[in-house]
Amino acid sequence: MIILVTGAKGQLGSEFREIAADIKEHEWHFKSRADLDLRNLKQMESQIRGLSPDVIINCAAFTAVDLSETEQEAAFAINADAVARIGEIAKAMNICVLHYSTDYVFHGEGNIPWKEGDLCSPKGVYAKSKRAGEEALLATGAKAIVI
């Protein structure tokens, strides 16, 4: 199985790199922002098509919560537009997508772990961009899981 991990130098991507070291039966490809710029949709599509992975694990995100308020375009480009395009490519190529959410998409009240069916009510640009990406990915009809 060929597995593409985006956001390879981030916190989550780095964890997958450690896990992959023990799972040798799969072909892992780790792409950082320098290797795969999610703001460049044509380059991203070309790389995904060239690699033809069976699974994309999307760990990439614009995670600077406060900076998202002033860099809204960048936040939406990476957290929403790129995720939507990954979904479209995945649908066309029959690729499974594992995409990571954030607790920021919820309303922020309460003190118990969030469940899949809990109400989403994102506050702020970061949360709204992440939620927009999730919705766009699922709307593509790709085989996708949002965690």
For residue 136, the one-letter residue type is A
Cα distances from 46 to residues 49, 52, 144, in angstroms, run 5, 10, 20
H-assigned helices in 52-105: 65-68, 72-76, 82-93
Cα distances from 13 to residues 10, 17, 83, 108, 116, in angstroms, run 5, 6, 16, 25, 23
Q: Whole-angstrom Cα distance, residue 64 to residue 129?
A: 12
Q: Whole-angstrom Cα distance, residue 84 to residue 106?
A: 20
Select which of 63, 86, 126, 128 is catalytic.
126
- No. of helices (H) and no. of strands (E), the chain: 6, 5
- The question of whether 104 is a catalytic residue gets the answer no
Active-site residues, by number, are 126
